[in-house]
Structures are given as C-alpha cells and as structure tokens.
Chain A
C-alpha cells in the first residue's frame, strides 16, 4: 500500500503576525515555522495504517521553501519512509494550484491513500483534500476524527454541526485529518538519527498560476478597549444592563 502524506510548513500558531512592506505578505522576521498542526495527525495515521497492514511505504510530500527540509526531516523521524520537497519561493496560499501540482505528482506516483491535514493554519483554506480528490477522481472524506480500514473500505467519522457523520469510502481515497483522530507519537533520538539516512528528494515545484491574486493582507481592526464592569457577583446587574441597553444582545 502506497501512502502519501501532504505536509505544509506554516508559522507557529503562537506567532504574532506582522504585515510586510508590500502589504500582501507577512514579515518573516522573528517568525518560527513548524509542521502544520493537523498534518501531524495525518502523519501518525499513515504510520498506524502501515502498522495495521504490515506493509507499505509512507511518502511525505510538501510544496514549500527550501527551509521546509526541516519539516521533511521531522516527518522522516516520525514514520515517513521517504520525503519529497517541491521547492518554491512563493507563499503557497491558493488551494487550486497546489492541488493541481500535487495531482500531477500523484499521477506519476500513484497512492492508494493520501492523507492531509484538515486545514493549513496559515491560509486556513480547508480545501486541499477535496480539491485534490476531485482532480484525481478519488474518494474523499474531510475533517475525519476516527478512521477504520477493513477489507479495503474505510469507515470514517467526522463532526458536523450538532452531530457526527459516519461515512464509508472506497480506496483510493484522500482523507483530511482532524484533531482527535490519533495521538501523534513524537520523534526520539534514535528515529531522528535514522531519519538522516532516509531519502529526501528535492526538485523545483511546477506550480501553475494561482486561481486567486492577493490584493492586500491587513491586520484585523483592533477591538475597542473593553471595560471591567466590576468585581464578583455584585457586578452582574450592571453587566445585564449593558448587555441590554448598550450591546443589545439580550
């Protein structure tokens, strides 16, 4: 079974965002980057599937800057057998062109299972898995938080508004992974050493033009400074009054 895990290098979630001088990108000074949080669940799921099947190859792939070698090494230390880095200098923010480029790679390197994160925490697109699946004619289930494979059929569970959906799905398939799916195992010294010997292929990405152009990137309007209504239960009547007459929410 060939399993591919899509990984994106993104700014750490506790990063304070500053806008660069061009008004269209973030200022990277002082920003630390990491593997997208949801991709850790995808990577762990690939590892679990390989363990369940007793065979298979896990390939981690990313389209990103040369510096994403760090995230690829980390993927190799956490269960990937090989890694592919398709390099670009551009910020990859558009799902359609990313999906096109990944689809082209997957056509040359077919996989039975493609695992993604549900969402990249930079562009917050939440679209790659379904977009990719459409282009490859593969099945797809998104935002999966429970997954079982039996007799070549997946049973996946996902949260929907106010309920959970149980979906069955054939292979080949693309799954986007949500928190709760598994508990990612961290790397250890031994796996980090072993990762240094695993293959990391690097080549320039063949990215088509994005389906959208960035006009501007702005910080959100600051919320007006709020007020402390008071202390303890004694402040409740004043709060109720403000919610009624000022905020008009009750």
Chain B
C-alpha cells in the first residue's frame, strides 16, 4: 500500500504550524487515494516535535535524527528524505511552501526524478491521478494541473488548510542522520529583532505604503500591529517604501515580495498597484485606509475608510486595543 508523505519542518526544536497544515492536505489525499499519512522530519533531538506529529494526524513518523543534522543542509537532508520516501512507498510528498519547503522539496523531487507543484492551494486524487491548484502570474490566474510523473510532490501554501489536530496514536521510528559530506550547511540563524511574528504565518498583517510620508511614521503601523496582542500581527510594506529604504525587503508584500493570505490584511497609505495586490488579494478580509477615495486598493478591500492615516490609524489602534482587552 502506498502512502502520503509529509516532510515536516522543525525549527529550534518546535514543529512549525504550516507543517500541520500540510498534514491536513495529506489527510485529504489519503482519504481518496488510500494509504497512511507518514511524516518525515529531520534534525537533532527532535523527539518532542516527532511526538507532536504522531499525536496530530501522522500514522507514522520517521525522525531522521542526529548531530549531523543539527543544522539544515539542503543536499544532505534531501538525500536522506528521498531514501525514506522510497522506503515508505510514497505516492505523494507534501511540504509547506516555506523558505525550507521551497529549498528542500524541489531538491527531493529532483532526486526522485519527478515534478513538484509549488505554492499549492488545493490538492486532489481522482482514480489514482493526483492534481493540484496553484496561483500563477502572481495570483492573476489559477492553474489546475494533473501530475504525470510519480510520486506527486507539492508545496502547500500556508494559511490555506486548517492545522491537523488530534487523531493521535501514530508510531515514531528513529533513523540515524547520515554523516555525509555536506555541500551546503546553515552556519547561523540571525533572529529578526524581538520575537516578531513571521509575515506569512501572521493572523493579521498591517502594511504601510508611501502615504506614511517617512520611515519614522511606521511607528503608527507597528503600534496598530501590536494592538492585536503578542504574536498575532506582523508588519508589511509596499515596494515603494522598501525601495526608499524605510523598511527591509523581508517585509515587502507583493509580486516581488511575499505573498500573504491572512484572515485580516490592513493596507494603510498603499495605492493598490497590481503588483501589490498580487501579494495580498487572497487575504480573507481586506481593510484599506487611504485618503484618496479613488485609490485602486478600495476595489479589492472589503472595508475602506477614506481618510488621513495620521488621524485614522491612531483611532483604530485605540479601538483594537479596547476590543482585544474586552475579548
């Protein structure tokens, strides 16, 4: 019996939430394709995260564990994972579309001489034939494809499937991490200041644009994000302000920045250029604050306030603080 494999991502010993979302996608496939959901995770000292996978939807967890895998190495991890995909008879291999997922699964698929469909928002298996939907042209179109090579590999866009929870009782199998020659290896991870919520995982994204006039005024955006409480909201930016050097590129939302689809996106002083919309149009609810009633951002916004950011944002921050405080 062939299985549906999820490559899980563990950072700092903790299982990343988008991996549990990939487990949900795998469960959907297993329902029509048959077989079990098997999770593969790499790292050093990953017992806790492996158990968490076994408790949340994985019927079997293969933990490739050992000092050699203390730091991420795309080539070494891909090789070990590809072997496990074969050993566990993987008909499909899923991973979250994160920085690691984008680096690792295309490499695994290359080793398995198959294709990989990236940034997938829906998966299917129909009479043994695997398919997926993915945004193309920066979300200006959606492509539905059918895999013609096996195994079917796909990276799953975060915030698109609910995280798997419960349905525990899976077994954890340990495999020693092979101490191969590493072609590339992570030497250091430099944390962004504080414990910032990653943009693509945030429940709320508050983005600012050129309408904020200068870098220092982004404090308004930061305060609004903070009003949602710790770990909820992240700050984003338009390319205009990234190009101006007000904000780092890691915060850019759009076609040449990050694609986010949070439950709530708030655009402040952003005109809504097509390349910006590409990065946020799939957010569940969009709020726009712009002083120009004709700004294109209002065409995609669910709720708009026409007004001066310097007046509206502090009032909104206060109201959100109160709403959060009152639960």
> Could you list which residues of chain A lie within 8 angstroms of chain B, going by C-beta atoms?
11, 13-17, 19, 26, 37-38, 93-97, 99, 121-135, 138-143, 145, 155, 158-170, 173, 178-180, 209-220, 223-224, 226-233, 235-237, 239-240, 242-244, 247, 249-250
Contact = CB atoms under 8 A, between A and B. Distances in A.
Interface of B: 16, 72, 74-75, 78, 98-100, 102-111, 113-119, 131, 134-149, 183-192, 196-201, 204, 228, 249-250, 252, 255-257, 263-264, 273-275, 278, 281-282, 284-287, 293, 298-308, 311-312, 314-316, 319-320, 323-324
Given A14-B274, A126-B102, A239 B316 contact: yes
Contact of A169 (B131, B183, B192, B281): B183
Contact of B138 (A124, A125, A159, A229): A124
Contacts, number: 301
A170 B255 contact: no
| 9 tightest Cβ-Cβ pairs between the two chains A and B | A211-B115, A134-B110, A139-B183, A161-B198, A127-B106, A169-B184, A233-B315, A96-B115, A130-B106
A188 B147 CA distance: 44
A212 B145 CA distance: 6
Nearest to A216: B144
A162 B148 contact: no
A239 B137 contact: no
A19 B144 CA distance: 13
Contacts of A37: 256
Residue from the set B140, B264, B308 with the largest chain A CB neighbour count within 10 Å:
B140
Given A139-B183, A164-B189, A233-B312, 5 more contacts: A96-B114, A130-B104, A180-B249, A233-B307, A236-B319
Contacts of A143: 99, 102-103
Contacts of B281: 220, 223
7 contacts: A19-B141, A96-B110, A127-B116, A159-B250, A167-B187, A219-B141, A228-B304
A143 B256 CA distance: 12
Interface of B is mostly: mixed
B138 A121 contact: yes
A122 B320 contact: no
Interface of A is mostly: mixed
Given A138-B183, A240-B319, A121 B137 contact: yes
Given A141-B184, A212-B148, A17 B140 contact: yes
Contact of B255 (A121, A229, A230): A121
B6 to A, nearest CB: 18
Nearest to B232: A250
Nearest to B96: A161
B141 to A, nearest CB: 5
Given A37-B256, A138-B183, A213-B146, A158 B99 contact: yes
A179 to B, nearest CB: 5
B243 to A, nearest CB: 10
A163 B11 CA distance: 11
Residue from the set B139, B141, B281 with the largest chain A CB neighbour count within 10 Å:
B141
A195 B201 CA distance: 45
B145 A213 contact: yes
Contacts of B287: 239, 243
A250 B216 CA distance: 28
